[in-house]
Amino acid sequence: MASTNDLCNRINRKYKSMSKGQKLLAAYITENYDKAVFLTAAKLGTVVGVSESTVVRFAATLGYKGYPQFQKALEELVRNKLNSIQRMEVTYGRISQTQILETVLQSDAENLKATLEHLDQDAFELAVDIILNAKNIYVAGIRSCASLASFLAYYLNLIFDQVHLLHTNSSSEMFEQMVRIGREDVIIGISFPRYSMQALKAVEFANNRDAKVITLTDSIHSPMNLYSSCSLIAGSDMASIVDSLVAPLSVINALIVALCMRKQKEVAGTLEMLEKIWDEYQVYENTRLE
């Protein structure tokens, strides 16, 4: 499995055999990857002082099919390397103040489209089967991904009896909640750049105890996939100090719907019981507008 700094590794391996112009490109990209990621091949050549064709050959030398594929690898490097302040600075240089709404929504739409095109249907069906056959279901999402984990766990609780949303105020507390996890159980680990070490430790812990591991992450190169039995990939583009989680949420919605379809009678019975409880305890507002 390629590492998250695969581009850096490729540059290091090929550096000695590069031409003078390619070495200039390698040096610039290594030192200014946060700027290079938003440059076209022609613009990158101008900045470094080489021709556009040299830039294209440089990408090919590194083993990429073309400059667009090289740029995607550069984007992945950037997303995993930049801290929150740097991410904000990059965004300021990329989005016009008058086009924020349009740019962010368009980016979300592109993430959804890319996710639909590339999500492995077999992996999705396998995830459904694993969850259906699990004795206990653990859900782990840290920091910004905690909202996704909470959303998923809420609906899983309507479908299954033994659902455990991991609370992660500390690493030791997380492991204490997972102390009984075993081969009949599954953990669903959710993490997107910048990847959380706590989320990674949670899925590693589960894997070491022979539990099934389902990951929801952004790339096959995500460190979360080192321990996964089944990986669901959803697009997540950098939008500022945060990442877009629209596509991951959509995948979660699809997962919940698929599980409900497979357990229709049980879910219907649970909802019928809940409706009575909600009415009795006035959980929802029933006032009608006249």
Task: Indicate the average pLDDT of the chain.
Answer: 86
Q: What's the confidence (pLDDT) of residue 62?
A: 93
- pLDDT band of residue 2 (cuts 50, 70, 90) is very low
CATH of domain 6-81: 1.10.10.10
**Residue 16: CA count within 13 A, CB half-sphere:** 1
Residues 193-214: what's their mean pLDDT?
92
- pLDDT band of residue 281 (cuts 50, 70, 90) is confident
**Region of poorest pLDDT, from 37-41, 196-200, 209-213, 267-271:** 37-41
Q: What's the confidence (pLDDT) of residue 189?
A: 97
Q: Report how far residue 189's alpha carbon sits from residue 214's, in angstroms, rounded to the nearest whole number.
A: 6
Q: Report how far residue 87's alpha carbon sits from residue 114's, in angstroms, rounded to the nearest whole number.
A: 22
- pLDDT band of residue 4 (cuts 50, 70, 90) is very low
Q: CB 184: neighbour CB atoms within 10 A?
A: 12
- CATH top class, domain 114-279: alpha beta
Residues 175-192: what's their mean pLDDT?
95
Is residue 8 predicted with pLDDT exceeding 90? no
- CATH 3.40.50.10490 domain locations along the chain: 114-279
- pLDDT band of residue 110 (cuts 50, 70, 90) is confident
- pLDDT band of residue 279 (cuts 50, 70, 90) is confident
Per-residue model confidence as pLDDT tens digits over 130-179: 999 999 999 999 888 999 999 999 999 999 999 999 987 766 788 899 99
Residues 29-43: what's their mean pLDDT?
83
The percentage of residues in the chain with a pLDDT greater than 70, rounded to a whole number, is 87
Q: What's the confidence (pLDDT) of residue 227?
A: 93
**Region of poorest pLDDT, from 4-8, 14-18, 119-123, 192-196:** 4-8
The percentage of residues in the chain with a pLDDT greater than 90, rounded to a whole number, is 51
- CATH 1.10.10.10 domain locations along the chain: 6-81
pTM of the model: 0.71
Per-residue model confidence as pLDDT tens digits over 68-99: 889 888 877 776 665 555 555 555 555 566 67
Q: What's the confidence (pLDDT) of residue 101?
A: 82
Highest mean pLDDT of the ranges 34-38, 95-99, 126-130, 276-280: 126-130
Give the E-state strand segments of the chain in sequence order.
137-141, 163-165, 186-190, 212-217, 230-233
**50 against 5, higher pLDDT:** 50
Is residue 3 predicted with pLDDT exceeding 50? no
Burial grade of 58 (CB within 10 A; 0-12, 13-18, 19 or more) = buried
Q: What's the confidence (pLDDT) of residue 1?
A: 36
Q: What's the confidence (pLDDT) of residue 89?
A: 54
Q: How far apart are the first and last CA of the chain?
A: 61
